[in-house]
A = this chain, B = another copy of it.
Amino acid sequence: LSVPVRTDSLHALLAPRSIAVVGASSDPGKAGGRPLHYMLQLGFQGELYPVNPRREEVLGLRCYPSLAELPAVPDLCVIAVPQADVESYLEQCGELGIKAAITFASGYAETGDEGRAQQERLRDLALEHGIALAGPNCLGLVNVRTGAAPTFTTALERRPRLEAGPIAFLSQSGAVGAFVLGMVQDQELGLSHFITTGNEAALSWPDYARYLLEDEDTRVISGYLEGIDGAELVSVATAAREARKPLVLMKVGASVAGAAASAAHTGKLAGADYVYDAVFRRHAITRAHSLDELLDFSRALSMPTLPAGNGVAIVSTSGGAAILIADWCERLGLEVVELADETTARLRETLPWFASGKNPVDTTGRPLWDEEMLHRTLAAVAADPAVDVVLCHVGLAPGPARRIADEFVRAAAASDKPFLACWLPEIDPEPHGTLREAGIPIFADPVRMTKAAAVAIEYVNACRRAEEFGAPAPVDAVSPPPGNVVAEHDAKRWLVENGVTGTQEHVATSADQAVEHAAAIGYPVCLKLLSSDVTHRSDIGAVRVGVGSAAEVNVAYDDILRAVETHAPGADVEGILVQEMVEEKGVELIVSGFRDSVFGPCVLVGIGGVLAEVFGDTVVRPAPVGVAEARAMLDELRGAALLQGPRGTSPADVDAAATTIARVSALIAGSPEDVQAIEINPLLVLDQGSGVRALDALVTRIPKGETA
């Protein structure tokens, strides 16, 4: 649980002007020496107060015997002492009015119950004194612009430099954080903040994220997550979208082994991975599946302008790379646009005589010694109205690299469209620096450039969709009939009462009654077992369809009872359902409202019956959704074409299906917490105008005393 945090305390932690280090040491290998060493290296301009009663001077700085004897109250105290002493120093911070503290010490919740209790005491102290406490068991943090670096990550030992830039990196893992920091340095990526959250005794990932949304130096928040409170993440994502600061997140723990390791590592619940996917998609969070992707996507999303559409121009000094990029554009749904005649004419004037002037534009290697040609080519394609983004493969150009960079930037500066470059780092760092300063992201693989461009386009689309669909409407509280398993008839009746179209049906408790019901409904009918104890009825032969006469009803009735005796002896039989036989052909869907352990109510739609299982063709959203969003869910199904009436069949009633999805989503969202799932399977979608029929339904509750 998160502690309410004062903004001024967070500011003292993340942008401190004065920093005390208790346990200060001159040894840059020690936790009390390394942060001081790094801050001196990075040129931190604020005050540094080493605190150690056994020293007069540390790394050339005046050392103080105690926190109480400092000449001023520092913004931040780095508590670099053995674990046993951390608590008392934190208390001192509180007494002296120090607003922020950080400790790297381990031995807390990650080691078991005793450590957890110690961690809770740190939390209580922070809460009591209003201290923004980072850690414990973290690797610290860095404010890249100011050089404030209360961290002991070895990444800064490996390379002492950090570039300032618009990306904040916010990691729940220290070691992954350090590794990414190393990658950031190797790739010369610019950061605003580097933050590892550690055990999150007091401050948690969302607290930092909210600060970064207000931070002027930060344009993109890039993060590594193992577990998080779902509502908090959604709230951060919503604020981020409103501020147009993209979130790029890697969330691990998707696999069985990974989730178990994650639980062991952090004690946090993993939640269903496909629900993370759904929430990310709904809330315009970009998901990275590797560390390379995390940085590539962050880099692309930190461009000052994002693409307005998916029209791509490819300019390449290598014909082969042009083909490769075009292949990936198609795979990722980007359009390699046909250039206007005027553009092609301009290109023909510029390029070698045998060049086609078509998109993808193969310039041949000539621009690598004729930079003007590169400029003219880039300017021509950027001016084309169909083009939203320019992907340029430079390759490598050790000779005239500076001039190439200048011409590249000149073309980009004259356009209001984003440019991305693929260019291996040259030995001379200046050319790449020139591009970076102009906000042009650089990649070392043409495919990675193309994927990053696709992600930037999708981010803009996701924001657009989120605005279009709006915030979910409030839902009325509802309550399904009682019972841990509400079987078909009751479940369907309740759904019909709540606006879902079902089938005519009645419960029979004798064969004669079944014949009566069938006559009232009209032949043919279906007969189905009603029993909470049997969930997959067709597996045991307890469903009979196309029952055409009174005589057949009698036979089917007996057959079903016999099937129960054979395959589910002892099952509680509530009756036999006699049901209208929906003869019209239609598409079967599964529509399910369910409750995720992390994000709460969700709604799922899939191409129904056996296919949903076999092809795993389902789409999920956090619930509730409106009808427009439900329609978008149907469009996202791989089998969406089945609803559009393939091969001479009639199109299905997509509107009615979407209305049902929206309705089910509102029902799960309005149900009490113990309702685990509201499932219609199948929902038969009839021809356009003919609506839908819920043919079967089930509501399940979590038995008291258990958790999801």
Q: How far is the CB of A320 from chain B (nearest CB, A)?
A: 3
**A320 in complex: contacting residue of B157, B226, B399, B425, CB < 8 Å:** B226
Q: Is A154's beta carbon under 8 Å from chain B?
A: yes
> Judging by beta carbons under 8 Å apart, are A258 and B610 in contact?
no
Which residue of A172, A261, A424 has the most chain B CB atoms within 10 A of its CB atom? A261
Given contacts A398-B157, A646-B610, contact A179 B321 (CB under 8 A): yes
> Judging by beta carbons under 8 Å apart, are B641 and A178 in contact?
no
Q: Is A705's beta carbon under 8 Å from chain B?
A: no
> Judging by beta carbons under 8 Å apart, are A646 and B614 in contact?
yes
Kindly specify which of A66-74, A443-451, A515-523, A653-661 makes contact with the partner chain. A443-451
> Judging by beta carbons under 8 Å apart, are A321 and B258 in contact?
no
| Chain A interface, >50% SS class | helix
**A445 in complex: contacting residue of B175, B291, B614, CB < 8 Å:** B291
Q: Is A1's beta carbon under 8 Å from chain B?
A: no
Q: How far is the CB of A598 from chain B (nearest CB, A)?
A: 16
> Judging by beta carbons under 8 Å apart, are A638 and B615 in contact?
yes
Q: Give the complex CA separation of A321 and B224 in angstroms.
A: 11
Q: Give the complex CA separation of A290 and B444 in angstroms.
A: 11
Q: Is A396's beta carbon under 8 Å from chain B?
A: yes
Q: Is A648's beta carbon under 8 Å from chain B?
A: yes
Q: Give the complex CA separation of A182 and B427 in angstroms.
A: 11
List the B side residues contacting A446 at CB < 8 Å: 290-291
Report how many copies the assembly holds: 2
**A179 in complex: contacting residue of B250, B424, B539, B611, CB < 8 Å:** B424
Question: Which residues of chain A from 363 to 398 have any CB-CB distance to chain B below 8 Å in the complex?
Answer: 365, 368, 395-398
Shortest Cβ distance from A330 into B: residue? B255
> Judging by beta carbons under 8 Å apart, are A154 and B642 in contact?
no
Q: Is A84's beta carbon under 8 Å from chain B?
A: no
List the B side residues contacting A617 at CB < 8 Å: 615
> Judging by beta carbons under 8 Å apart, are A264 and B172 in contact?
no
Shortest Cβ distance from A617 into B: residue? B615
Question: Which residues of chain A from 436 to 461 have any CB-CB distance to chain B below 8 Å in the complex?
Answer: 444-448
Kindly specify which of A89-97, A352-360, A403-411 makes contact with the partner chain. A352-360
Q: Is A29's beta carbon under 8 Å from chain B?
A: yes
> Judging by beta carbons under 8 Å apart, are B258 and A157 in contact?
no
Binary flags per residue of A301-343, CB closer than 8 Å to B gives 1, else 0: 0000000000000000111111110111111000010000000
Q: Give the complex CA separation of A398 and B158 in angstroms.
A: 5
> Judging by beta carbons under 8 Å apart, are A646 and B613 in contact?
yes
> Judging by beta carbons under 8 Å apart, are B396 and A173 in contact?
no
> Judging by beta carbons under 8 Å apart, are A610 and B157 in contact?
no
> Judging by beta carbons under 8 Å apart, are A539 and B647 in contact?
yes
> Judging by beta carbons under 8 Å apart, are B290 and A448 in contact?
yes
Which residue of A159, A262, A614, A615 has the most chain B CB atoms within 10 A of its CB atom? A614
**A264 in complex: contacting residue of B321, B356, B399, CB < 8 Å:** B356
Q: Give the complex CA separation of A183 and B617 in angstroms.
A: 39
Q: Give the complex CA separation of A615 and B359 in angstroms.
A: 30
Shortest Cβ distance from A322 into B: residue? B261
List the B side residues contacting A159 at CB < 8 Å: 427
Q: Give the complex CA separation of A328 and B288 in angstroms.
A: 13
Binary flags per residue of A632-652, CB closer than 8 Å to B gives 1, else 0: 000000110110001110000
List the B side residues contacting A110 at CB < 8 Å: 354
Q: Give the complex CA separation of A312 and B109 in angstroms.
A: 29
Shortest Cβ distance from A360 into B: residue? B261
> Judging by beta carbons under 8 Å apart, are A448 and B292 in contact?
yes
List the B side residues contacting A540 at CB < 8 Å: 648
> Judging by beta carbons under 8 Å apart, are B254 and A327 in contact?
yes
Q: Is A155's beta carbon under 8 Å from chain B?
A: yes
List the B side residues contacting A425 at CB < 8 Å: 186
> Judging by beta carbons under 8 Å apart, are B252 and A323 in contact?
yes
Q: Give the complex CA separation of A447 and B296 in angstroms.
A: 14
List the B side residues contacting A224 at CB < 8 Å: 320
Q: Is A246's beta carbon under 8 Å from chain B?
A: no
List the B side residues contacting A266 at CB < 8 Å: 319
> Judging by beta carbons under 8 Å apart, are B319 and A173 in contact?
yes
- Known contacts A154-B398, A289-B447, A614-B639, then 7 further A-B pairs from the complex at CB < 8 Å, ordered by chain A residue: A157-B399, A173-B321, A182-B424, A255-B336, A291-B447, A610-B642, A611-B611
Q: Which 10 A-B residue pairings sit nearest by Cβ, starting from the closest?
A: A175-B318, A173-B320, A255-B330, A290-B447, A176-B320, A539-B648, A158-B398, A265-B319, A258-B326, A257-B326
6 contacts between A and B (CB under 8 A): A154-B397, A174-B318, A250-B324, A256-B330, A258-B327, A262-B323
